[in-house]
Amino acid sequence: MCLAVPGKIISISGDDPLTRMGKVSFGGVIKEANLAYVPEAQIGDYVLVHVGFALNIVDEAEAHQVFDYLRQMGELDELGDDDGGG
């Protein structure tokens, strides 16, 4: 099963809205995500990421709540996998 997971944008690269990328921290695991769907996203924002695309900006409190749920379920370990899945 694939989940959309919240992460914090720590850097942004690219000027083209369709290819703009962000380095996103998922509880310390850093992955790149395409920011085309959230052109208003800035460094420090939390975004909901699914299969490498940031889908929307989420509230920090909501992001932390989701992380707590994922920790309880033991799903955070899968974030470190580099299998390309989502």
Q: Would you say the pTM of this structure is higher than 0.85?
A: no
Q: Structural domain boundaries of the chain? A: 5-79
CA pair distance 8, 56, nearest whole angstrom? 12
Q: What does the alpha-carbon distance between residue 56 and residue 11 come to, in Å, rounded to a whole number?
A: 17
Please give the class, per CATH, of domain 5-79.
mainly beta
Contact 40, 12 (CB under 8 A): no
Q: Write the pLDDT tens digit of every residue in 8-63.
A: 999 999 989 999 999 999 888 899 999 999 999 999 999 999 999 999 999 999 88
Q: What is the pLDDT of residue 75?
A: 64
Closest by Cα among 51, 62, 52 to 6 = 62
Asked whether the CA dihedral 27, 31, 35, 36 is positive or negative, the reply is negative
